[in-house]
Every structure is written in C-alpha cells, then in structure tokens.
Amino acid sequence: MSKHTPPPFDGDGDRIIDEPLSEALSRRYLAYALSTITGRALPDVRDGLKPVHRRLMYAMRMLRLDPTTTAKKCARVVGDVIGKYHPHGDVAVYEALVRLAQDFAQRYPLVDGQGNFGNIDGDNAAAMRYTECKLTVAAQLLLDGIDEDAVDFRSTYDGEDEEPVVLPAGFPNLLANGSSGIAVGMATSIPPHNAAELIDACLLLLSNREATTLDLLELVQGPDFPTGGIIVEPKASMAETYETGRGGVRVRARWSKEDNGRGTYQIVITEIPYQVKKADLVEQLAGLIELKKAPLLGDVRDESAEDVRLILEPKSRNVEPEVLMESLFKLSDLETRFPVNMNVLDARGTPGVMSLKRCLQSFLDHRREVLVRRARFRLAKIEARLHILDGMVIAFLNLDEVIRIVRYEDEPKAKLIAAFELSDIQADAILNTRLRQLARLEEMELRREHAELAEERDGLVKMLGDDKQQWRLVGVGLKDVRAILGPDTTLGRRRSTFDVAPVWDAEAAMEAMIVREPITVILSDRGWIRAAKGRVEDPSELKFKEGDKLGFLVSAETTDKLLIFASDGRFFTVGCDKLPSARGHGEPLRLMLDLDDKTDIIDLFPFKAGSKRVIASKEGYGFVMPEEEAISARRAGKQVLNVGAKGAAFAMPATGDHLGVIGDNGKILIFPLAELPEMPRGKGVKLQTYREGGLRDAIIFNEADGATWIDTAGRTRVWAEWKDWLARRAAAGKLAPKGFPTSKRFKPK
C-alpha cells in the first residue's frame, strides 16, 4: 500500500503559496540583510557595542563577575550567553569574549581575562574550559545604572528572559574602543580613541552646542591605538575624515636606532601598527629579503618578550636609517592605512554614517536619557519609602493606641487602616515593625530619614524639570569618569603619537644599491621578456620558443627604468634590475603588467630624464610628451595617449626639428616639429588628414641633415627634394617620391 503524503502547509495553515521565486528570495534576503545590519554587524552609537558584546557584558553582570570578585570559567559565561541571550555558536561567542580581553585589540579592555587569551603574534587563545574571566572597571562604567531602569529591556530570543536594548554607557565606548564589522551592503570601521580626550570634547559640546568638528579636534587629537604607533596622516585629511565620517589614517611602527659599535647599527621596532600580527610582519620582512625586494635590509629577527622588540639590520653601515625605514614603510606592513567608515546604528536602529560631532552628541543625548530615567527610578523609590515613613510617624504619634489594636483586636490591619486612614502598605509596615524599633531614638531616626528623603525628592523633582541642570549633571558624571580613565592613569595614557612623514627619496637610495652594469633587453614577438648581461652583438644567435621570434632589442643598464608603450596608449614602467635573466626564455610580460591579449607592444626604451617623445595614434593625432610623464609605478600603467579603435602608432624621440608622416594612402607630409604642442597626456592634434586609412609611419630629422629612408635592399637613400612635401600640419600631403618602399615606411619594421 502506497504511503499518502499530504500537501504541505505554510505557517498559517494554508496551502503552499504560488509566487515568483525572485520575489520570494528578495523578501527573504531583505529580512536577512536587515537582521545582519541591525542585529549583528553594526554597533549602536550610544554604547558602541554589537549585540554579542552587549549580551556578554550583561551575562557577566548577572553572574556577579565584578572586578572585585573571583573570576569564573569562560565556558560558564559562554554557556549562559548562548543559552539565554545569543542563539549562535559557542565558538563565535568565545572569540568575541577573547577579543574584549585582549589589550592589543581593545584600547579599554572590557573583560579581565586570566589564562592564555592569545597574543599579538596571532596565536589563538586557550580553550574556554581553561580560561577564566570577569569584568573590568571600564565594563562597570558601561553597566552602571542598569539595575535602576536606566535603559529599556526586551524579551530574549526564546521569550523566557529579558536583555537590555542598550547599556547605560558611562563613557563614549564607540569611539574609545572603536569597532569593525561587515554587514550586507554596508560595513563599519572605527578606530579607537583616547577616552579622556573624548570626554573633554563632550564637555566642550555641553558648554557650546555650536562647536564645530575643528573645535572638537583641538581636544581629540586623533585615534589612539592600543598598540601605539606613530600616526602620520595629515591634519587636514583627518579633519575631513571626522567631518564626513569616511576616510583613513596612516599609522607607522615606532622605531629607534641602536649603535652596535665600529660604525654599525641596528633598528629596533618597539610598536607596530594596529591589527598587524607580529609574526606575519616578521615573515613578510624576511620574504622581502629573500626575494631581493628590500635591498637596503640585511636581516630581521624577533627578540620580543613581554614587549615588542624587532631587530632590523641594514645591508650596509652606509645606509641611512631613515632611508631604510622609508623604503620598508612602502614595502611592508610597518606602515598601514586604517580605513575609517563611521557607519553605526542611531537610537532608532537606523544605520548611517556619522561625523565625530554627531557621534558625541548622540552619546550625550543617551547619557541625559539615562540620567532622567535613573532619577525617575530613584524618585519612585523615595516616594514609596516616604509613604511608609509617613505611616510610621503616625504610628509613633499614636503608639499606645497602635499597641492596643495590635494586642487586642482580631483583625489589627483593618482596624489600623480604619483608625488612622493608612494604606495597606503602611499598615503592613507597622505590623512588621519589631517592638525594639518603637524606641524614642528610632522615632528620631525615622524623622531624620524622612527629612533627608524629602529634600532629595524635591531636588530630583526640580532637576527633572530643569534641562540645564540635567546637562550639568551629565557633565559632572563625565568628569568623574575622566578621573578613572584620565591621562594620568596607566590605562588612560595616550599611546599613539603624531608626526609628519619625512620626505626621503627612498627609491633613489634603493637604486643606488643596484650594481650598474650594461644589459640588453630582449622582447620576443609573443611578449616574452628577458635581460642579457652586456651587449648582444649578433641577434641571430638568440634563441626563442618554437614559433616565436625577436620583437625588440634594446641596450640599457641595470639602473635604468624601461618604458613600454602599448597599443592602447598606456605607458608601463619596469625596473631593468627586475627583469628575468636571459639564461632561459624569460617571462611573459603580461604576467608582470596588466596587459590583455588584445594589446600589442608598440615600443620600449630606457627612460632618460629631460628627454621628449613624439607619440601618435593611427588616427593621425599626436603631441610631444616629456618622458617623465610616462613614468608609472602601477601594474596597470598610465594612460597617456587617448586612442581610437585603430590604436597607437609610434613613440619616437623628439631629436629633430621636422616631422615627416606617411599615411596608409601613400601620401607624405612634412612640417616643423614646433607645430606640435607639448602635453602630459591627451589625444593631441591632427598630424595629417586622411580620407581613408590612417597613419602608417613617421620620421623625425633636422633640416640641416635632410631626410632619408631605407629601401628594400637595406640601403639608406638621401631625400634631397624633401622640401617639396613641406606644408602646414594637418594637410593631406603628396604621394611618396619614386623609389619609396612599397611598405610605405621610412624604415623596415
């Protein structure tokens, strides 16, 4: 008998809904994206925490893991978090906890970890069953007031418990500890800052709401990374970053020079950029030495113990330490750029990029709300206590009658309420009072407490109705926090400093380390490049892969830069010292540069400072270009000539005073080279007019020497009548003279 499977139902008990897959996926992915943005990846501007961190803080608070108590196993904390608040994996939660305890990752650690919590080398923490943790003083500042209705609570994922929507946050944790995360379609990256400087900026905003970002930056110098380092980002750039909420910060390792005697020295690195793993950095520097990409660096070793201590030895005692370090800053992670994207959730849970001022103002608004809510909570407690004290005072004023009722009446509570107009709460308080508390001294104590609470109540009521007093008390609270996290404390002392990056010609210094030798650059027709030592006297002896042949043969030196002109109008730059040896067939040039298969090499030549080139496209446009404009350090090269579909034609040395061009139609035009403009890049001006075809070839010569061409037999022919073809630029020209090569070229290609 076959088993009958009933049609599936949806959650509402209806049959399956028929809808387009694209709509169903879009709706579900949108829900996932919103969940990721608001519930996982972006921090809240008020407390600077993501949900997992906030749940960790609250769970540890509920476990009474205060700074003064004994630490508990991290496994216990992680278990509570994933069991009560955070429906995700234990590994992810433990990793979040570990990061909160790492003093090289957090500027103000929120977890006091005991055991192996990893290190700056990138080693992992011990398993959670071995490590222990408790809250730090900084974490206490974030949680202070959470038991006094300072923030809203919501149901946990299973509805069995409650968790805070946000923490009270006694200091601007978002900027103090920074944050980073990737959501769907957006990300955040906020560097850590000095808490004392941030509080000073908050106090300035409290006194002057019209303060600008530049005013705030007089107090907030910039990021303060837990690993220290030297920030070399220009002040103007940082001001723009803090104004717009987007930008970046360049940070360098801190180094010093140690003399070893006999004229030798070594460089000592004591601080490395934020989020750089020390072990990876050492490996990277060693790789530069092995690949001969850092010719000024001789050796690197790690002598670190508790503190960072990396030793760099120069290749030669003659190398200036500043030049060595500038070269390494360019080649390694000794200098990094920390991206800034202050994308956070506001008080309504809406993501957005905020400026420094808006972040601080949002924090201050939150602190005021916390102040008001705590005051209302305290006021309610006072009112309840005063209500009881009022009943106790009535009891003392009528003590004999109260004792009689309690002693002789069957229902003393009802009698007390009826006799003295008491409430149920007051009557219960009187009935629960012990006889020894009915002494005269106890009555005086009650009256004193009543007066004090009444005075406090009046102060709270006045404060709740006075905005200025509320803001003043917010400032008082921030000053108290500053005393804990101030610059005079070990934790609050600024670690990152600022400097201007010195201008050193590190590239020239590196070139000076290259041995100057003559070479011959060989580029095959299929794009394989190599460099042979010395001069190649007989090109016919060169060997190529099967089906390949010689394309270009150029004499140069190892210290030269090789300029390569491509058919798409780009120039590429390759150091001749980096070219592969001629022992084999070399390497494909397309692996060294970003060249596609459709782009051809038009010319290559060694760079000569002060020299100029005439470059032109096959459409017949061109200009004079200084060779300095062709230099590019990018693999993608530099777009110098704007070409059409036909591509580039030539790049000739501008070593004469006249230019002769010939088109595909066989017509030649000669005009003074001075009629061409000198440009750094562009399309240029028209050289010759064509009805069909385009530019085929060109020649540059001096009027005094005259023009020449090479015939099919390889003989140089002197062109005595060249002036008959002299005209203005952009003319059509005249047909080539009798005997001119049928290839329509001045020289064989």
Q: Look at the block and give the residue holding tokens 């540890």.
A: 60
The full DSSP string for 545-569 is -TT--EEEEEEEETTPEEEEEETTS
* Cβ–Cβ < 8 Å for 687, 703: no
- d(CA 81, CA 114) in angstroms, rounded, equals 19
Q: Look at the block and give the residue holding tokens 């106790």.
A: 392
> In angstroms, how far is the first alpha carbon of the chain from the final one?
86
- 439 phi/psi in degrees, rounded to 5: -70, 165
Q: Looking at 29, 32, 130, 157, which residue is catalytic? A: 130
Q: Which of 701, 699, 706 is nearest to 748 (CA)?
A: 699
What letter does residue 446 receive in the DSSP assignment? H
Residues 6+ apart with CB under 8 A from 162: 153, 154, 155, 156
Which two structure tokens, joined as six digits, stand for 283? 């490996």
- d(CA 438, CA 425) in angstroms, rounded, equals 18
What letter does residue 17 receive in the DSSP assignment? P
Q: Which of 489, 390, 458 is nearest to 430 (CA)?
A: 390
Q: Look at the block and give the residue holding tokens 């220009």.
A: 234
3-class secondary structure, 242: helix
Pairing status of strand 550-557 against strand 528-533:
unpaired
Specify the DSSP element, H or E, that contains 188.
Answer: strand 187-190
Q: Which of 207, 256, 220, 252 is nearest to 233 (CA)?
A: 252
Partners of residue 189 on adjacent β-strands:
180, 341
Could you give the angle at which helices 356-397 and 195-207 cross, rounded to 10 degrees? 80
**Cα-based angle 532, 535, 539 (whole degrees, multiple of 5):** 80
- For residues 601, 603, 605, 608, the Cα torsion angle rounded to the nearest 10 degrees is -120
Which two structure tokens, joined as six digits, stand for 151? 């923030």
Alpha helices in 65-194 (DSSP H): 74-80, 90-101, 137-143, 173-177
* Cβ–Cβ < 8 Å for 253, 309: no
Residues 136-153, buried b or exposed e (16+ Cβ, 10 A)?
bbbbbbbbbbbebebbee
3-class secondary structure, 228: coil
Specify the DSSP element, H or E, that contains 707.
Answer: strand 707-710
Q: Look at the block and give the residue holding tokens 């100057």.
A: 516
* Cβ–Cβ < 8 Å for 108, 195: yes
Residue 242: active-site member? no
Q: Which of 381, 391, 390 is nearest to 450 (CA)?
A: 390
- For residues 296, 301, 303, 306, the Cα torsion angle rounded to the nearest 10 degrees is 90
What letter does residue 432 receive in the DSSP assignment? T
- For residues 316, 319, 321, 327, the Cα torsion angle rounded to the nearest 10 degrees is -100
Q: Which residue numbers are catalytic?
A: 130
